[in-house]
Amino acid sequence: MTEQPAPAENTPQKRGGRFVLGFLVYLITTAIVVAAVGFFWAAQHFTGAGPLKEDTLIAVERGMGLNQIATHLEAENAIDSKYIFILGARFLGAAADLKAGEYQLEPGISAKDIVAKMRNHDVFGRFVTVREGLTSYEVVVLLNGYEELIPRRAKSLPEEGSLLPQTYSYQLGEEVFSVLDRMQNMMRDEVGALCAIENPRELDWQSFISKPCGSEPLKNVGDVLTLASIIEKETGVAGERAQVAGVFINRLNRGIPLQTDPTVIYAITKGVHKNDGKGPLGRRLLRKDLDYDSPYNTYKYAGLPPGPIANPGKASIEAALNPEAHDYIYFVADGSGGHSFAKTLREHNNNVAKWRKIRREQAQ
């Protein structure tokens, strides 16, 4: 047998290989440790308390991307680092889901919670209350007065009676037109439910108000809204609405003119009411005004006026649909905010005399 050479033991080449391998392992291990520490540090800053010291409103405009949002938040001192915010949003898969809007950020809110707010569109709540009985002109003036809304400058106004009064939310920079659109949809929904109208939002306004609703002498949605608007302007006492509705129904059935002052005011103003503290006319209604020639003047013309004279609330609409059954055909203010009702002209004249006496005493 031939003699084999002994294997080489600790040659310089092997020592050099082990050194390189060890150094690579060291570098990889160090990199992993550094990355782990960096990730832990970034995660702590992403999920931990942020730098905000007080409630702050932050506006994210349409078209802003993740980088712009992060830069804006950092400039407002809402986050410690825009880079951590960006990395965190991408890690959560929310980079393309951050929505425009106005957000209220609480003291110490974390970057992660900010991402969640913007992802869920948890916007700051701004509200406007539109009271019952305003005309469409008055509603537009009210909304145009909110600086946070983009005003409606178009000359045309929403159809009278098409806006449902209640409290609505809105966002910074939203157009008044958008709020009006929601008000119209809510009116269609409410009346549609009360009158059993399917898909009311799919109908144009004329088709909607032509839908059958109510009972004689009311024929359609338009009649219901018109009567409801008169009820709304005549009384603010919840318990009186159905009673007032009954008076008007009795008059309509008997062919007696409604003789209601708010219709005369609407005839004169066309809904463009003054707001100087002296009433919608800027003065008291005068006896000569009752002769104003207009189909809206229910002193001159029997029956309902051509359309609503204001935007009625749900309670007045329900009263128009469910009038109280009684024999009253007159009512007049009683000095307490409500009204005195009468079945005969003699009773009514007595009630009027009492009201005039109260007014004289109040004027002294």
- 282 Ramachandran zone, left/alpha/beta (phi>0; psi -120 to 50): left
> Residues 115-135: pLDDT tens digits?
999 999 999 889 999 999 999
> Residues 308-350: pLDDT tens digits?
999 999 999 999 999 999 999 999 988 888 999 999 999 999 9
CA distance 184 to 200: 11
> Residues 222-265: pLDDT tens digits?
999 999 999 999 998 999 999 999 999 999 999 999 999 999 99
pLDDT at position 7 over 60: no
* Residue 279, pLDDT score: 87
CA distance 260 to 248: 9
> Residues 290-316: pLDDT tens digits?
999 999 999 999 999 999 999 999 999
Q: According to DSSP H, which parts of 255-335 are helical?
A: 261-269, 314-321
Which residues, at least 6 apart from 162, have a Cβ–Cβ distance to it below 8 Å?
A: 136, 183, 184, 187, 205, 311
Q: Which two tokens stand for residue 198?
A: 């399917």
Share of the chain above pLDDT 90, in %: 70
* Residue 33, pLDDT score: 60
Query: What are the φ and ψ backbone dihedral angles of 79, each rounded to 5 degrees?
Result: -135, 160
* Residue 199, pLDDT score: 96
Residue 92 DSSP one-character state: T
pLDDT at position 19 over 60: no
157 in Cβ contact with 140 (< 8 Å): yes
Q: Which two tokens stand for residue 147?
A: 């600086």
* Residue 72, pLDDT score: 94
The model's confidence at residue 34, banded by pLDDT at 50, 70 and 90, is low
* Residue 227, pLDDT score: 98
* Residue 8, pLDDT score: 53
* Residue 201, pLDDT score: 95
List Cα–Cα distances, 228 to 186, 244, 245, in angstroms. Answer: 16, 10, 8
Domain annotation for the chain: domains and CATH numbers: 56-120 (3.30.1490.480), 136-326 (no CATH)
* Residue 171, pLDDT score: 86
* Residue 310, pLDDT score: 98
Higher pLDDT, 356 or 3: 356
> Residues 134-166: pLDDT tens digits?
999 999 999 999 988 988 876 789 999 999 999
pLDDT at position 356 over 60: yes
> In which residue are the tokens 């700051």 written?
124
* Residue 125, pLDDT score: 86
| Mean of pLDDT values over 199-215 | 96
